Amino acid sequence: MTENVIEVRGLRKEYGGFTAVDGISFDIRRGETFALLGPNGAGKSTTIEILEGYRHRTSGDVRVLGIDPQRGGLDWKARLGIVLQSTGEAGSFTVRELLVEFAGYYPNPRDVDEVIAAVGLEQKQRVRAGKLSGGQQRRLDVALGIIGRPELLFLDEPTTGFDPEARRQFWQLIRSLKASGTSILLTTHYLDEAAQLGDRAAVIVGGRIAAIGAVDEIGGPEARTPVVRWTDATGTRREERTPAPGAFVADLQRLSGEPDGLEVVRPTLEDIYLDLIRAGDDATAPDPTAGDDRTPLKESA
């Protein structure tokens, strides 16, 4: 087995004169949860559909579990789990009936009872899918995604519409899947979700990667530098970005006393993400992995 479950080099997708994905490169390591972030229309869905084998790329190299998705056969597809934003109507079947049916599609499926327990649907296994709550339905979606014992699980906006308690219960489920060895590619608009679940993240803006790295380091140290804000004697609102806010505030107080409206703000992941999006709107952000000297991808045997 290779160290990476996904390897992308110079991926590009064009629709007529429109470039949806503009030469991005990244890897996803075996066993990690990788969050793909970005505003609507940034190129996330196109990228994921190419990785899943649903859409052909214009150019670039892509390997998913060592295989080019454009040539992936049934054996390769059986190694993937896919949980889409919305699923097809299956309201007339019970939870157990659906899982038994889906298990029959795979060569080495998980035990149906084991999966039902893993997603917390033991009390609902005889209930028809159409009668489940939104959170229970999403658990069923994940159950169907993992019944085939996938090496790689795609989760597309998995907790949209969840209440806070349901979201946290779902996060625990995802953590348990990761602990069992499943590699996960997650897309989400919830920055706290990316922070809770992701080992690493990439932010896509305008079809390019604006930042990539560990979730608690994305954007680099400068983006995480604290900001001191205060109102000066003229009533003007001022701010200063400084790596030593305590010393700056002490100097400020020594020179002018206690400033009005004094606050020290440490940027959150959401602040950093929004700054990256704004920068991408102003100018096309460079792909930090472009032009590297990594060797071309090779097909696994």
pLDDT of residue 88: 61
pLDDT of residue 41: 87
> Tokens 């804000």 label which residue?
229
The answer to whether residue 36 scores a pLDDT higher than 60 is yes
- 174-221 pLDDT, tens per residue? 898 899 899 999 998 888 899 999 999 999 999 999 999 998 888 887
Task: Tell me the average pLDDT of the chain.
Answer: 86
The answer to whether residue 296 scores a pLDDT higher than 80 is no
- 99-134 pLDDT, tens per residue? 999 999 998 999 999 999 888 899 999 999 989 888
- Domain 4-218+270-282, classified CATH 3.30.360.10, yes or no: no
Query: Which residue from 94, 168, 102, 103 is spatially nearest to 137, judged by alpha carbons?
Result: 94
Q: Would you list the domain boundaries of the chain? A: 4-218+270-282, 225-266
Q: Which pLDDT band holds residue 161 (cuts at 50, 70, 90)?
A: confident
Burial class (CB in 10 A: 0-12, 13-18, 19+), 43: buried
The answer to whether residue 89 scores a pLDDT higher than 70 is no
Measuring CA to CA, how many Å separate 126 from each of 129, 142, 208, 230, 271?
9, 17, 46, 60, 45
Compare 223 and 24 and report the one with higher pLDDT.
24
Do residues 151 and 183 make contact, with C-beta atoms less than 8 angstroms apart? yes
pLDDT of residue 44: 92
Chain centre distance of CA 11: 18
DSSP state of 94: B
